[in-house]
């Protein structure tokens, strides 16, 4: 029997067509329906883009990638499944990406954009000839590219990280085993479809015969939507950034946490969670085990730590834990050596799930490096994360060696935002600062000096940035400076002085305006979220 992910899903559908695969806005999509939708999409794709056989087998050419630019929906999931079945590489791009950024990304990937998922998966009308089943190729080379994921770069165009079928199979096998996913499991999927987190939430779940409960991207920060899902369908596993867990805690603010009781595993990922934010969780999830999951788009999960709710942060932060099965990790010292024993350095990992390398323009300095003592073991990935190894061997995160920050769990390179700002004719110089924020982890603030005679205003500038940068990379505030920006003696932006410039001005708290009227339910919810995670 094949262990290839799409084949497993189709096999499960053949045996259990009525088993729930997806839960979306109160409706269940069975495995049979999901694979039927995927079959219609595959037929359309094969007819319009030559299917898997184009170019022909043995031609040595790889099929051109297709691109899905869509918000999450059962139809969109079916289109991804169709491409996996056809073994056509699929770029999944955010539907929020600005027009210029999107077209640059499609060019960089060499990808052809597919029509909307609803169109691809639509049932044929009455009287239409029966749809022939799509000719799925037999399982092929595990090094074939399955998906193209994106992550922030420093140049303005997202970097493209391919995921192979082999990596997908190894990851889904490990993750299903580690978190005990099977046909009775429902997993909450909070992340948008283009996020690597979906490799667990959606694809590991479907590969296990379980049900993925999909959060509508448009309502992803709305506690009522989350609560509605959890009350309608018992959820056993939740994975998400700290913001999701704060939102879930809010859904129990009325004192009734019964919808959280079925949860067996809570996976915290994407960013560091604060002590108070974590402390709110164990009482709400009485049966759950808590896991700190560390990974990035290039490598997928590489460390997992089961959190001790009695002593979650013995070193002041959640421990990273142990490398997951088959992962090799080392700490790189400043001179490129391997740190043995306690100390601080950059975390470098090699996982069985990692990308073979970026597609398209490579960064000037490759983050993929050989292990200094194991040159034959394949490239390792420099994460950019600085970690400390404590005397007892525990690893904790300490920051970054570059300008990458997390905004709501999304990796953003502030150098990329600065480059986009400085590329505007009306801008003389610009700095982007990431300041701590209770909700988002970090929020971006831009300080900008106009070029002489430029008449740029903040709205024009926002529109310009919105065309070029992912949503998470757009600064929350733009402050205009009449003076040259402060610089250090070596000519670099003086970020400490800039932070002082920002002061209390633009970094206004995002709590709603104080009003005397009794708060409606939503208002109350949002106020509590804005004020932090506790009651």
Partner 1 sequence: MARTTQIKKYLIEQFSLEIQPDELADDYDLLAGGVIDSLGLLTLVSWLEDTYGLNVDVLDVAPDNFRSVRAIDAFCDAASAPGPAAGTTGATEAATTGARRP
Question: Shortest gap between Cβ of 519 and partner 1 (angstroms)?
Answer: 7
The radius of gyration computed from the CA coordinates of the chain, to the nearest angstrom, equals 24
DSSP 175: H
Q: Determine the interface stretch with partner 1 among 129-137, 159-167, 224-232, 344-352 (rule: CB under 8 A).
A: 224-232
214 binds partner 1 (CB under 8 A): no
End-to-end CA distance of the chain: 51
User: Cα–Cα distance between 87 and 74 in angstroms, integer?
Assistant: 20
Strand pairing category for 289-296 and 265-269: parallel
Among residues 16, 225, 344, 487, the one that binds partner 1 under rule CB under 8 A: 225
**Alpha helices for 344-443 (secondary structure H):** 414-422
| Nearer Cβ to partner 1 (251/302) | 251
User: Cα–Cα distance between 487 and 318 in angstroms, integer?
Assistant: 35
Among residues 114, 220, 249, 421, the one that binds partner 1 under rule CB under 8 A: 220
Strand pairing partners for 296? 300
Question: Shortest gap between Cβ of 526 and partner 1 (angstroms)?
Answer: 5
CB neighbour class for 532 (10 Å; exposed up to 12, middle 13-18, buried from 19):
middle
| Nearer Cβ to partner 1 (77/474) | 474
Question: Shortest gap between Cβ of 416 and partner 1 (angstroms)?
Answer: 14
474 binds partner 1 (CB under 8 A): yes
Among residues 233, 344, 476, 487, the one that binds partner 1 under rule CB under 8 A: 476
DSSP 505: S
State phi, psi for 80 to the nearest 5 degrees: -60, -45
Among residues 442, 449, 471, 495, the one that binds partner 1 under rule CB under 8 A: 471
365 binds partner 1 (CB under 8 A): no
Question: Shortest gap between Cβ of 93 and partner 1 (angstroms)?
Answer: 15
Q: Could you tell me if 432 and 421 are in contact, meaning their C-beta atoms sit under 8 angstroms apart?
A: yes
361 binds partner 1 (CB under 8 A): no
Q: Determine the interface stretch with partner 1 among 46-54, 106-114, 214-222, 322-330 (rule: CB under 8 A).
A: 214-222
Among residues 28, 222, 394, 499, the one that binds partner 1 under rule CB under 8 A: 222
440 binds partner 1 (CB under 8 A): yes
Question: x-or-dash pattern for partner 1, window 246-265, by CB under 8 A?
Answer: --------------------
Residue for token digits 């506790």? 534
Question: x-or-dash pattern for partner 1, window 80-109, by CB under 8 A?
Answer: ------------------x-----------
499 binds partner 1 (CB under 8 A): no
Question: Shortest gap between Cβ of 479 and partner 1 (angstroms)?
Answer: 7
Q: Could you tell me if 387 and 347 are in contact, meaning their C-beta atoms sit under 8 angstroms apart?
A: yes
Q: Determine the interface stretch with partner 1 among 76-84, 104-112, 217-225, 323-331 (rule: CB under 8 A).
A: 217-225
**CA distances for 106 relative to 55, 64, 109, 439, angstroms:** 20, 11, 5, 32
DSSP line for 66-134: EEEE----HHHHHHHHHHHHHT--EEEE-TTS-HHHHHHHHHHHTPEEP--HHHHHPPPPTTPPPPPPP
| Nearer Cβ to partner 1 (132/512) | 512
Among residues 385, 416, 418, 439, the one that binds partner 1 under rule CB under 8 A: 439
Residue for token digits 């946490």? 257
| Nearer Cβ to partner 1 (112/477) | 477
Among residues 14, 107, 224, 261, the one that binds partner 1 under rule CB under 8 A: 224
Q: Could you tell me if 189 and 198 are in contact, meaning their C-beta atoms sit under 8 angstroms apart?
A: yes
Q: Could you tell me if 188 and 211 are in contact, meaning their C-beta atoms sit under 8 angstroms apart?
A: no
User: Cα–Cα distance between 49 and 88 in angstroms, integer?
Assistant: 10
| Nearer Cβ to partner 1 (369/502) | 502
**What is the crossing angle of helices 99-109 and 458-468, to 10°?**
20
512 binds partner 1 (CB under 8 A): yes
Structure tokens at 50: 């030559």
Question: Shortest gap between Cβ of 215 and partner 1 (angstroms)?
Answer: 12
526 binds partner 1 (CB under 8 A): yes
Site residue total, partner 1 (CB under 8 A) = 46
How many separate helices (H) and strands (E) can be counted in the chain?
Answer: 15, 24
466 binds partner 1 (CB under 8 A): yes
Question: Shortest gap between Cβ of 139 and partner 1 (angstroms)?
Answer: 40
Q: Determine the interface stretch with partner 1 among 102-110, 147-155, 334-342, 527-535 (rule: CB under 8 A).
A: 527-535
Residue of 158, 256, 117, 87 whose CA lies nearest to 468? 158
DSSP 135: -
Question: Shortest gap between Cβ of 281 and partner 1 (angstroms)?
Answer: 20
Neighbours of 232 (CB within 10 A): 15
Question: x-or-dash pattern for partner 1, window 441-460, by CB under 8 A?
Answer: ----------------xxx-
Task: Name the residues that contact partner 1, by CB under 8 A.
Answer: 98, 218-222, 224-225, 228, 439-440, 457-459, 462-463, 465-467, 471, 474-480, 505-506, 508, 510-513, 515, 517, 519-523, 525-527, 529-530
């Amino acid at each position: 029997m094949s262990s290839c992910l799409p084949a497993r899903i189709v096999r499960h559908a053949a045996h259990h067509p009525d088993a729930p695969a997806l839960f979306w806005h109160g409706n269940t999509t069975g495995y049979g329906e999901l694979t039927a939708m995927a079959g219609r999409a595959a037929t359309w794709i094969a007819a319009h883009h030559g299917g898997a056989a184009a170019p022909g087998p043995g031609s040595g050419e790889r099929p051109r990638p297709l691109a899905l630019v869509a918000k999450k929906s059962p139809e969109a999931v079916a289109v991804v499944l169709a491409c996996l079945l056809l073994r056509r590489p699929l770029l999944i791009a955010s539907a929020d990406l600005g027009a210029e950024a999107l077209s640059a990304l499609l060019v960089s990937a060499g990808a052809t954009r597919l029509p909307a998922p609803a169109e691809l998966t639509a049932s044929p009308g009455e009287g239409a000839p029966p749809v022939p089943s799509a000719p799925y190729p037999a399982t092929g080379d595990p090094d074939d590219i399955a998906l193209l994921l994106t992550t922030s770069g420093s140049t303005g165009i997202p970097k493209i990280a391919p995921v192979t079928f082999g990596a997908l199979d190894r990851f889904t096998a490990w993750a299903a085993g580690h978190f005990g996913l099977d046909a009775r499991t429902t997993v909450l999927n909070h992340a948008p479809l283009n996020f690597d987190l979906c490799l667990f939430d959606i694809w590991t779940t479907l590969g296990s015969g379980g049900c993925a409960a999909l959060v509508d991207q448009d309502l992803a920060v709305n506690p009522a939507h989350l609560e509605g899902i959890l009350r309608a369908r018992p959820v056993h596993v939740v994975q998400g950034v700290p913001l999701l867990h704060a939102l879930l805690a809010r859904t129990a603010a009325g004192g009734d946490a019964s919808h959280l009781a079925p949860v067996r595993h809570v996976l915290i990922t994407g960013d560091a969670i604060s002590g108070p934010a974590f402390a709110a969780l164990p009482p709400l999830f009485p049966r759950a085990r808590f896991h700190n999951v560390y990974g990035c788009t290039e490598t997928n999960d590489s460390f997992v730590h089961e959190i001790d709710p009695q002593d979650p942060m013995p070193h002041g932060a959640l421990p990273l834990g142990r490398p997951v099965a088959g992962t090799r990790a080392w700490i790189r010292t400043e001179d490129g050596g391997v740190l043995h024993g306690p100390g601080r350095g950059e975390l470098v990992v090699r996982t069985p799930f990692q990308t073979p390398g970026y597609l398209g323009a490579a960064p000037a300095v490759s983050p993929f490096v050989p292990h200094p003592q194991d040159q034959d073991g394949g490239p390792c990935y420099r994460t950019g994360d600085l970690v400390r190894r404590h005397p007892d061997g525990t690893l904790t995160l300490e920051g970054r060696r570059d300008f990458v920050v997390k905004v709501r769990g999304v990796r953003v390179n502030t150098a990329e935002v600065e480059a986009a700002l400085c590329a505007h004719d009306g801008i003389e110089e610009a700095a982007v600062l990431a300041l701590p924020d209770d909700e988002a982890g970090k929020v971006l603030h831009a300080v900008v000096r106009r070029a002489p005679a430029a008449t740029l205003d903040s709205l024009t500038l926002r529109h310009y940035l919105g065309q070029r940068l992912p949503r998470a990379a757009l600064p929350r505030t733009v402050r205009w400076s009449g003076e040259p920006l402060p610089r250090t003696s070596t000519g670099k932006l003086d970020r400490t002085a800039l932070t002082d410039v920002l002061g209390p001005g633009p970094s206004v708290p995002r709590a709603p305006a104080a009003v005397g009227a009794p708060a409606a339910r939503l208002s109350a919810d949002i106020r509590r979220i804005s004020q932090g995670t506790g009651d």
